[in-house]
Amino acid sequence: METKILSTSEYDIALAGEIIAKGGLVAFPTETVYGLGADALNENAVKSIYAAKGRPSDNPLIVHICEKEDIVPLVKEVTPKARALMDAFFPGPLTIILPKSDRVGNVVSGGLDTVAVRMPQNDIARRLIRAAGCPVAAPSANTSGLPSPTRAKYVIEDMNGKIDAIIDGGDCEFGVESTVITLAGDVPTILRPGAVTKEMIESVIGKTEVARAVLEGMKNDEVAASPGMKYKHYAPKAQVVIVDAEKEVYENFVNSRENAFALCFEGDNVTVDKVTYGRENDDLSQARELFDALRQLDEMGAKKVYARIPHTTGVGMAVYNRLIRAAAFKIIDLRKPFFIGLTGPTGAGKGYVSSRLAEMGFNILDADKYVKKIYDNNPGILNRLASEFGNDIIINGELDRKKLAQIAFSSKENTKRLNSIVHPEVISLCERDAKPLAVLDAPQLFEAGAADKCYKIISVIADYETRLRRITERDKITQEQAVSRMNAQFDESYYINNSDFVIYNNGEDIDSQIKKIMEEIL
């Protein structure tokens, strides 16, 4: 099929209107993104939209109208809240979902008994709908799954040869799709955030919820309130990972990655290849530029992209919502004190993994070393130990370590009491010394309650027999002593169940396991 590229002249708009009226497909600009329009009341025409986009047929389309009153025949009833929202935000980037009338077919509604309606503000869009003489069903004019098009050239890239015409109307003002709100349930609920914010909506109709999936993504067994929430979306070919960190931590992180691209804000101090999406404290500029930036990254051949996280308030919610889908929900959290917690039962070989991570440039905090250091120049902790275990563990103001060990390890109860003093102290000292990408290397990571302070946890595991052999050889202790030490720890399944990753060390290749894990984390 030959796709006509049309201008915004009277003649061309009239032609485009005629194409739609006859059942054809026309891409056109709106204030949000480019739409791919067809006569909403012509089921065959609507079907061809799904085909051109490769869109799943259960993901309904938005019906665009050019006058407020055009909504009336499409819905069962224009409720008072719908009326209030229309008065406040039509025309504009807000889509309202209501129970549909019989005039709206099942193809356009994706099989649902509701319909989504919007009255765009963009003058070209309005003129086109008027020229078509019918409500116009239109999703974004991109191949399903790719970033929505904010410029005509991206529509041409995706749709040339697949549709009848494309109206070139310049760049879109907002750059993210409309806010979608459903009024079909008990409480008004935002299913997709956009330039009309929750705050703006609440100022008109009061209490409004935001669907959980908007900011968190969907769990596997969850039912989508909006079918569009189910699919990975807006994604460029490059793999995008969001980095949750302050500006400077982000900059250092991305600058230390090899072959990575940055998706950051104007003025960010980034030395790798980068594309910016707006300014840090200007969510409208971020919204306007995000999809364009994602497309540019593909043009530059980016394979791996680290994106700076936007604020999630106001229009930022819409920006974040699109970005987490472009990233397939992959977010690296650099705000936790420790990037990795490394643990495992005694004798498994955690030490080797730790040394490899150190060579790879991670900042290792060895909890055992801190345990040895915590008693030095630390009268606070000595006093607490004395009051817990008796004054004779202190001689001349110094700790008698042997004595303390004797008492503390004489019973499980005493060990617990010692740990409750030592663990928090050790963890807080490690936290104090932690640099970005810190690894907390701690045999008692779980016992110390430090798991929550780590972004990811890796446990090093080995067979019982192997560990027994290693411990007796390494520490020159008897089988019996080794067994009693081993039995005092969690069993293997505990480590496996409470870790994000497990490294097996019975002779397997450790480096390749580390590499694989790091690829997944980073």
Q: Which does 112 bind (CB under 5 to 8 A by kind): ligand AMP, Mg ion, none?
A: ligand AMP
Our CA angle for 50, 56, 59, nearest 5°, is 90
Residues making contact with Mg ion (CB under 5 A): 139-140
Q: Give the whole-angstrom CA distance, residue 474 versus residue 9.
A: 84
Pick the closer one to ligand AMP by CB: 140 or 150.
Answer: 140
Contact residue for ligand AMP among 23, 99, 227, 436 (CB under 6 A) = 227
Q: Give the whole-angstrom CA distance, residue 521 versus residue 391.
A: 48
Pick the closer one to ligand AMP by CB: 185 or 267.
Answer: 185
Instruction: Provide the sign of the torsion angle of the four alpha carbons 14, 20, 23, 25, taken in this order.
Output: positive
The CB-of-315 to Mg ion minimum distance in angstroms stands at 18
Pick the closer one to ligand AMP by CB: 190 or 284.
Answer: 190
Q: Are 184 and 82 in contact (CB under 8 A)?
A: no
Contact residue for ligand AMP among 226, 343, 354, 499 (CB under 6 A) = 226
Identity of the amino acid at 505: N
Pick the closer one to ligand AMP by CB: 230 or 279.
Answer: 230
Contact residue for ligand AMP among 115, 240, 290, 334 (CB under 6 A) = 115
Contact residue for ligand AMP among 180, 245, 302, 422 (CB under 6 A) = 180
The CB-of-79 to ligand AMP minimum distance in angstroms stands at 15
Element (H, E) at 366: strand 363-366
Contact residue for ligand AMP among 192, 308, 423, 467 (CB under 6 A) = 192
3-state secondary structure of 160: coil
Rounded to the nearest 5 percent, the helix, strand and coil shares of the chain are 40, 20, 40
Q: Are 504 and 513 in contact (CB under 8 A)?
A: yes
Q: Are 92 and 30 in contact (CB under 8 A)?
A: no
Of residues 140-179, those binding ligand AMP (CB under 6 A): 140, 177
| Placement of tokens 């760049």 in the chain | 171
| Binding map of ligand AMP across residues 255-294, x = CB under 6 A, - = no contact | ----------------------------------------
Q: Which does 128 bind (CB under 5 to 8 A by kind): Mg ion, ligand AMP, none?
A: none
ω before 149 within 30° of 0 (cis)?
no
Contact residue for ligand AMP among 3, 59, 121, 285 (CB under 6 A) = 59
Our CA angle for 147, 224, 118, nearest 5°, is 60
Q: Give the whole-angstrom CA distance, residue 176 versus residue 316.
A: 11
> Among the candidate windows 223-231, 296-304, 334-342, 507-515, which touches ligand AMP by CB under 6 A?
223-231
Contact flag: residue 116 with ligand AMP (CB under 6 A): yes
The CB-of-137 to ligand AMP minimum distance in angstroms stands at 9
> Among the candidate windows 224-232, 361-369, 487-495, 511-519, which touches ligand AMP by CB under 6 A?
224-232
* Structure tokens belonging to residue 141: 């004019």
> Among the candidate windows 53-61, 242-250, 263-271, 430-438, which touches ligand AMP by CB under 6 A?
53-61
The CB-of-97 to ligand AMP minimum distance in angstroms stands at 5
* Structure tokens belonging to residue 47: 């079907």
Contact flag: residue 214 with ligand AMP (CB under 6 A): no
Distances 100 to 85, 173, 208 between C-alpha atoms, Å = 17, 30, 21
Q: Give the whole-angstrom CA distance, residue 341 versus residue 334.
A: 13
Contact flag: residue 198 with ligand AMP (CB under 6 A): no
User: Cα torsion at 255, 256, 257, 259 (round to 10°)?
Assistant: 60
Pick the closer one to ligand AMP by CB: 36 or 468.
Answer: 36
Distances 64 to 95, 137, 174 between C-alpha atoms, Å = 9, 6, 17
Half-sphere exposure of residue 522, counting CA atoms within 13 Å on the CB side? Answer: 19
* Structure tokens belonging to residue 119: 């009255």
Contact flag: residue 109 with ligand AMP (CB under 6 A): yes
Of residues 79-108, those binding ligand AMP (CB under 6 A): 97
Number of residues that bind ligand AMP (CB under 6 A): 19
Pick the closer one to ligand AMP by CB: 59 or 121.
Answer: 59
* Footprint of ligand AMP (CB under 6 A): 59-62, 97, 109, 112, 114-116, 139-140, 177, 180, 191-192, 226-228
